[in-house]
Structure formats: structure tokens, C-alpha cells
A = this chain, B = another copy of it.
Amino acid sequence: MVQFVHPSRDDITLTGVLEALSDPMRLRIVRALVAQQGCLSCTEAAPCPDMAKSTLSNHFRILRQAGLVMTSKKGVEHRNVIRLDDIEARFPGLLKMILGFYDAENQG
């Protein structure tokens, strides 16, 4: 039985968040999760056939540990939700700003 550990809101750190978002694939995943405003499975959030699924799994683990993503199991797949409220409470405006720049950089 896989049991995911997520940090509590107050344990989310600035460098943890920056580190998590500094990888292009993870930033793309977060972008997709925010755009969706709901649950996405891992493969839905990162449609990337050229990447090993173990690597993808590792990226989600990093996002969880940074406190950005909440993962729960539902059936055969994992539901990933962006922890918008917690991130906003901890670092108000940060995620929105970064994603704004991300969009501008990617044919905004």
C-alpha cells in the first residue's frame, strides 16, 4: 500500500518551492494542474511519452515533498491536485506570478 507524505502548510519552504519549480518538466506539470483546477493523473498532467515513468514518478515525489502537489489514490490512478490555498497562504502571489512569466515565455 502506497502512502504519500505531504508536508503541512507551514513546512513549505521557499527554496523547496523554487527548487521544485526550477525544473521545466515540473513547472509544466504545475502549470497543467493550475489550469485544470481539479485532479489530473500523473500521465495526464505530463503527457510525455519520451520520459521514463520512473522519472515522472520522481518528479511528482519532489512536487509532493515541496508541498506543491497533493496526491491521493483513486482506483488504478493517482489524483494530483495543486495545493493552491496552502501555497498562497505561505507565499502570496508567488505561484501566480511565476506561472504568468511561464505563459509569457511559452508563446503567451
Interface residues of A (CB under 8 A from B): 13-15, 18-19, 21-24, 27, 91, 93-94, 97-98, 101-102, 105
Contacts and interface: CB of A to CB of B under 8 A. Distances in A.
Q: In this complex, which of A22, A23, A27, A98 has the most chain B Cβ atoms within 10 angstroms of its Cβ?
A: A22
A10 B94 CA distance: 22
Given A93-B97, A101-B91, A101-B94, A18 B21 contact: yes
Work out how many copies of this chain go into the complex.
Answer: 2
B22 A98 contact: no
A18 B68 CA distance: 15
Contact of A14 (B13, B93, B94, B102): B102
A105 to B, nearest CB: 6
B94 A98 contact: yes
Nearest to A105: B14
Contacts of A105: 13-14
